[in-house]
């Protein structure tokens, strides 16, 4: 019976390698998003001297938004792989130090913070074009943004409580 248990456990442990398909898929999506970003950048450069100040700001905000989304994807790929599949290491077997260590709890906080930043940029873009939106739509976009903010704050608070609980228990 113990052999069967070890066999099942080894299959379950090996199943983490299925996640590699998701991380590789996210890498391909990131590459495609980089192509999209390049198109936005070329469009911005080609119209730079004919755009008004507000349109220039909107174009720059769109580029910042894209950079934040790309950073979020990279953060998920690297920390997900490190936390659930395998550690990154050099050819000599030493760990790669510049990656930093992001555990699942801090990843949630970073993802939530990045989502709030992306939402903030989107909301700023909407406010700069407020005349194109109804009051009701502006209200709902603001409410949704505030939901992201509150969610991030709650996650940060929970993380703080969990850390202080571990410290007080000596863990």
Dist CA 113 CA 93 (whole Å): 33
8 A C-beta contact, residue 66 and residue 118: no
Establish if 10 belongs to a structural domain.
no
8 A C-beta contact, residue 139 and residue 127: no
Q: Where are the beta strands (DSSP E) in the chain?
A: none
pLDDT tens, position by position, 114-150? 899 999 999 999 998 888 999 999 999 999 999 999 9
Instruction: State the residue range of the domain holding 161.
Output: 20-168
Residue 73's pLDDT band (boundaries 50, 70, 90)?
A: very high
DSSP state of 62: H
Establish if 7 belongs to a structural domain.
no
pLDDT top residue among 109 and 100: 109
Number of compact structural domains in the chain:
1
DSSP state of 171: -
Establish if 2 belongs to a structural domain.
no
Dist CA 79 CA 103 (whole Å): 7
User: Which tokens sit at 77?
Assistant: 């790929």
Q: Does 171 score more than 60 pLDDT? A: no
Q: Does 2 score more than 90 pLDDT? A: no
Average confidence (pLDDT) over 87-106: 67
Establish if 74 belongs to a structural domain.
yes
pLDDT tens, position by position, 23-58? 999 999 999 999 999 999 999 999 989 998 888 998
pLDDT top residue among 82 and 151: 151
Establish if 149 belongs to a structural domain.
yes
Establish if 6 belongs to a structural domain.
no
Q: What confidence score (pLDDT) does residue 106 get?
A: 74
Establish if 113 belongs to a structural domain.
yes
Residue 92's pLDDT band (boundaries 50, 70, 90)?
A: low
Give the percent of the chain with pLDDT over 70: 88
Establish if 117 belongs to a structural domain.
yes
């Amino acid at each position: 019976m113990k052999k069967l248990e070890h066999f099942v456990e080894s299959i379950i442990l090996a199943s983490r390698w299925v996640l590699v398909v998701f991380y590789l898929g996210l890498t391909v999506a990131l590459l495609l998003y980089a192509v999209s970003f390049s198109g936005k950048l070329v469009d911005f450069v080609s119209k730079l001297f004919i755009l008004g100040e507000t349109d220039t700001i909107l174009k720059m905000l769109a580029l910042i938004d894209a950079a934040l989304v790309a950073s979020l994807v990279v953060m998920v790929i690297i920390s997900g792989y490190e936390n659930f599949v395998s550690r990154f290491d050099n050819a000599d077997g030493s760990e790669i130090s510049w990656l930093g260590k992001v555990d699942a709890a801090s990843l949630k906080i970073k993802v939530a913070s990045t989502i709030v930043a992306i939402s903030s940029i989107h909301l700023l873009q909407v406010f700069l074009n407020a005349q194109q939106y109804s009051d009701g739509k502006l209200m709902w976009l603001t409410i949704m943004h505030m939901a992201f903010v509150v969610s991030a704050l709650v996650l940060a608070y929970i993380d703080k409580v969990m850390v202080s609980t571990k410290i007080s228990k000596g863990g």
